[in-house]
Amino acid sequence: MTEVVIGIDIGGTNTEIGIVTGSGECLVKSSMRTDAYFDAKLFVEEIARNINEMLSNYPGSNFSGIGIGAPNGNFFKGTIEYAPNLKWRGVVHLVEMMKNHFKVPILLTNDANAAAMGEMIYGGAKNMKNFVLITLGTGLGSGFVVNGELLYGHDGFAGEFGHINAFPNGRLCGCGRLGCLETYCSASGITKTVIELLGNTEESSVLRNLRADEISSKLIYEAALKGDTIALKAFDFTCRVLGTKLADIVAITSPEAIFLFGGLAGAKEFIFSLTKKYMEESLLSIFKNKVKILPSVLPQNNAAILGAAALIKNM
């Protein structure tokens, strides 16, 4: 019998379900719309139906648990709480609802924590006990691993690096406050930076040919590859803000490495060395030249599922 676990990645638009082997291979995946289900109970029923159908194709496998990554997921309570990008309001007791369908261990955490766990179990942090994983997607998520364990804190919500303050009275964040780091260091943050730079300077840029709502981190990356000054300045600013704040979390948690993951981290040549440079400039001397900034080595298309599955693997 092959031991397998189910990894589920719940996103605002889609939910992906995968069967993962002990060595971290994703045997098969299926996808369903998250936003089609206004009722979480129906959503869970559809997940259960999907899992059972997938497992029926692998009769020789022993199914030992379900790991779930979700925005605003709480590991301690098995809940999704007040997730701004999901249609379900308030507190959703997802693990409890799943337990009506399956008798195996079911664990849930937030998506960035799941990604950190995936990196530790299957990826580049296999031999690390203290590291940070940062997802630079639409927002900025983070998972902190301390002494080989995810840092959940007292109430399960630790690791909100995206919501530390970068600039007093800065940009309005989705959380309702001003100046959160993720309004600068994320795919949407760099887009805002470009729009600001286009407004504040006279420099020529291919990005001037676009409407504000057409500008994306992908187009900024393509412009930077061609040497576009505004795009390059936007990457420089993003990395400076990120590097400076990484120096602060190094002072607090002293990680061995910081992994950058997600869409914006794909712009490797404009992100890694610059962020490292600005971080080193800001580090307390006892931390200088010690902390690596690394790309995630998980396959981008399966990373979230592997991370969710890793929760069970790490039990």
Binding residues (CB under 8 A) for a second copy: these are: 72, 81-82, 128-131, 144, 146-147, 149, 151-161, 163-165, 168, 175-177, 244, 247-249, 251-256, 282, 284-287, 290-291
Q: Establish how many alpha carbons lie within 13 A of residue 24's alpha carbon, considering only the half-sphere containing its beta carbon.
A: 20
Length in residues, the chain: 315
Nearer to a second copy, 45 or 160 (CB): 160
Least Cβ distance, residue 55 to a second copy (angstroms): 34
CA distance 114 to 92: 18
Nearer to a second copy, 45 or 248 (CB): 248
Least Cβ distance, residue 23 to a second copy (angstroms): 27
Tell me if residue 269 falls in helix, strand or coil.
Answer: helix
Nearer to a second copy, 63 or 131 (CB): 131
Least Cβ distance, residue 212 to a second copy (angstroms): 28
Least Cβ distance, residue 126 to a second copy (angstroms): 15
φ, ψ of residue 49 to 5 degrees: the values are -60, -45
Which segments within 185-271 are labelled E, that is strand? 257-261
Nearer to a second copy, 122 or 131 (CB): 131
Nearer to a second copy, 44 or 283 (CB): 283
Least Cβ distance, residue 253 to a second copy (angstroms): 5
149: CB partners within 8 A, 6+ apart? none
Provide the residue type at 197 as one letter.
L
Nearer to a second copy, 12 or 266 (CB): 12
Q: Say which residue the tokens 């919501």 belong to.
A: 163
C-alpha dist (Å) from residue 41 to 46, 65, 80, 85: 9, 20, 13, 18
Least Cβ distance, residue 111 to a second copy (angstroms): 15
Q: Say which residue the tokens 């925005």 belong to.
A: 71
